[in-house]
Amino acid sequence: KSFLNHTAYLSCYFPNSQKTDIKDLIVFWQKVDGEVVHEVYYGQEKHDNLSPKYINRTKMDMDKWTLQLLNARIVDEGQYTCIIQHRDKGSPKVIHTSECLLHIIANYSQPEIAWLHTGELKPNEYLNLSCSSSGGYPEPKQMTWLISYENTTCRPMHHMDVSQDAVTKLYNVTSKLNITVPTNTLTNITCLLHLGEQLGSLASVPLGI
């Protein structure tokens, strides 16, 4: 995993138990669609075959057999293959291959609750709220509401509207809540954006009514 616009680290997982000199190896990184990402030819970096979008964006750490991909973008997501060939009686022979799957993460803004109506709140009328968060990646799992009053908390399920920016590929999400105006009791309403098991959730500032 790598954050958007940060450096992604892709490992070859090459043990090099023979302590082979880099000058006897060809190290070759490519994407699953065949794009050449990086090439080290007998110790020298070679740029002739590189896909244009990777030029000046990669660096190889020869000690750790790790490729640094600078300024990671969402279009860089996907599977990468590292192929290592050894100079063997003239024709190079493949001695190691490994694959690496890159996921990009972009932080969503803190969910924000907005009022969708004006004027005074009256008992038994409907209260319309929306919650929105923007600029994140990947697509979130769901957006839920928490309504807490006295010793009770309920979680009404509501539809989440998702849109994706055609250029940046980042997601914006919105959910609407329509409930009866609470009477005679302090009510706290919170909106939660669930990003998935490993990424956790983001909570809005609670709205007190």
Looking at the predicted structure, is the pLDDT value of residue 119 above 80?
Answer: no
Predicted confidence band of residue 113 (pLDDT cuts 50, 70, 90)? very high
Query: Which is more confidently placed, 21 or 10?
Result: 10
pLDDT digits (tens, 9 = 90+) for 150-174: 778 888 777 899 999 999 999 999 9
Looking at the predicted structure, is the pLDDT value of residue 77 above 80?
Answer: yes
Neighbours of 139 (CB within 10 A): 12
Q: What is the 3-state secondary structure (H, E, C) of the chain?
A: CEECCCCEEEECCCCCCCCCCHHHEEEEEEECCCCEEEEEECCEECCCCCCHHHCCCEEEECCCCEEEECCCCHHHCEEEEEEEEECCCCCCEEEEEEEEEECEEECCCCCEEEECCCCCCCCCCEEEEEEEEEEEECCCCEEEEEEEECCEEECCCCCEEEEECCCCCCEEEEEEEEEECCCCCCEEEEEEEECCCCCCEEECCCEEC
What pLDDT does residue 124 have? Answer: 73
Percent of the chain with pLDDT over 70: 100
Predicted confidence band of residue 206 (pLDDT cuts 50, 70, 90)? very high
CATH placement of domain 109-208: 2.60.40.10
What average pLDDT is seen over the chain?
89
CB neighbours of 81 closer than 8 A, spacing ≥ 6? 29, 30, 31, 32, 97, 98, 99, 100
Predicted confidence band of residue 178 (pLDDT cuts 50, 70, 90)? confident
What pLDDT does residue 62 have? Answer: 83
What pLDDT does residue 191 have? Answer: 95
Prediction pTM value: 0.81
What pLDDT does residue 7 have? Answer: 96
What pLDDT does residue 31 have? Answer: 92
pLDDT digits (tens, 9 = 90+) for 129-142: 999 999 999 999 89
What pLDDT does residue 157 have? Answer: 73
Q: Please report, for the chain, the start and end positions of each structural domain, with discontinuous segments joined by +.
A: 2-105, 109-208
Alpha carbon distance 66, 100 (integer Å) = 11
Are 107 and 89 in contact by the 8 Å Cβ rule? The answer is no
Domain 2-105 adopts which CATH fold? Immunoglobulin-like (2.60.40)
Are 37 and 25 in contact by the 8 Å Cβ rule? The answer is no
Residue 102's Cα: distance from chain center in Å?
Answer: 9
Mean pLDDT of 176-192: 86
Domains 2-105 and 109-208 share a fold: yes
